[in-house]
A and B are shown apart, each in its own frame.
Chain A
Amino acid sequence: MIDAFIDSWPLFREIWLAAWLVALLLSLVGVFVVVRDQIFVGAAIAQASTLGISLGLCLGSEWSAEGSFFRSDAFLSMVAVGFAVIAALVTARGSGGGSTGRPADSREAITGFVFLLGGSGSLLIIAHSPHGLDDVQRLLASSGIGATSGDVAVLTVLCAATLLFVFARRRALLLFAIDSTTACVLGVRRSTDALAAAWLGLVLGVAMRTSGMLYSFGCLVLPALVAKNLCRASLPMFFAAPLIAVITSMAAAVIGNACDFNQAQLSVALLCGLLAAAWGLRAARGS
């Protein structure tokens, strides 16, 4: 199995590296999401990113000539990230508040709205474009990972920045995630909420373009959920979740390569299995 993996390395190197970097990146950010108990936000942002990609595909095929910027991967990546960041900021802010300063609806309601708008819109926009529809459906199922060396470079930079920031400011981040009012009283910037949302949108948008929705959403929430059920304190989740994500993704690459399974889908299935085992372990320990 290992030999087969090593033999395939030159062919799939970028795909596997990108998948491991996505796992590392999203699992780190995912700890913040899981601690805030906003798991569904990840799915909504990923759907919004898909809507951006659909719009990009539509623009590219309907209104621009062959070889134009609107038909390039760079343009699709930009709209994917743009829509993800906008969706993250909208879900973070709720519905605004208008003159009263109080949101007109709960954050959960806004998240549901973004998810459903992204899901329905992304398919309807390209419903009459069989090629585009196929692309989006593959994206939703993470059925084709097509990462390039450029994607690997971008993900490496994002991983490095996220690692540095999270490990330098992990206590402030955790306090903010648990109790944002106290964190602000104690000097943590109020803009942390918007910055965290924008960063979540950025990394999810980039991950969506390289890995698709199933893998991106899975790497965002499942490793942090497994860590939450295995750890006895919250800070160690920042170490445990990335470790779980990367090891699982590596195992999925090796097994998937040997057994001809899709690595992304296998990773998510393995993480689900780990989460079920962690729940069982926690129930057995009685905590």
Chain B
Amino acid sequence: MRMGIYFLAEQISVNATPFFPNHTWFTNSLLVTVIVAALLLIWARSATAKMELVPSGRQNVFETIVEALYTTFEGIVGRHMIAKTFPLIATLFVFILAANWFGLVPGVGTIGFGPPAHGPLALEEVQRPLLRPSNADLNMTLGMALFFMIWWVIWTISEVGVVGFLKENFAPKGGMKGAMWFVLLPLFLFTGIIEIISIIFRPVSLSLRLFGNIYAGETLLHTMSELGSGWPIPLNWITSVLFPLPFYFLELLVGILQAFVFALLCAVYIRLSTTHAEGEGEGAHGH
């Protein structure tokens, strides 16, 4: 086995590949996370190192992006929650977007270790890719979703309290009183239990949606690149670049869309649980 470039990719594994047998946590997706995080931090720090009231250059670009996100999410979570929640929502969006797009950089998933093939650095197949898109690893997406849900619980309890939260989910709504309240109580208790189950499954749905899209995208690109694998060299090399090319544009779109969907759903969850205190019936329960 040697390190090289795999020109004709195959089905990628669901599992991230560890680099060391004794340190299975250090995987190729974690390496990409480290790289993406480092790039993000360098970019953000360089943009905000010398902040000025009238922005210019990198600060201007960074501020434009952040301001667009701030305005968008402020409209969802409300002005009273945006200051608290914005850093996490924005981090989720920026990090997921950066990780998704970094996964499209040529070499991610196709440079690694495997049995050698003809040509310099060529492999028969990449058995252990050096780099794997972070969000094509469920550990990453589930980790982000769980981290968000921890904060969601903290923000919800701090805003409406435990009693308010339980009342919002289990008590009859619509200002009912008297006998009607008791009649409808079992129904609302039942819907409350369903609501709690749906809340518990939020991290699962959030993480699986992102993982599924990115993993599927990665698989799609690999499949496209191996369509001409039976053809002679260099035709199969050319087709391995040309065939997936249109899908790269699709994946660029999917990358930003999934980042936005993840952040947007997080914002909606915050909105749903923190605005009920202002008045009943505000915000629908939907997922």
Q: Do A and B belong to a common assembly?
A: no
A-to-B contact residues, CB < 8 Å = none
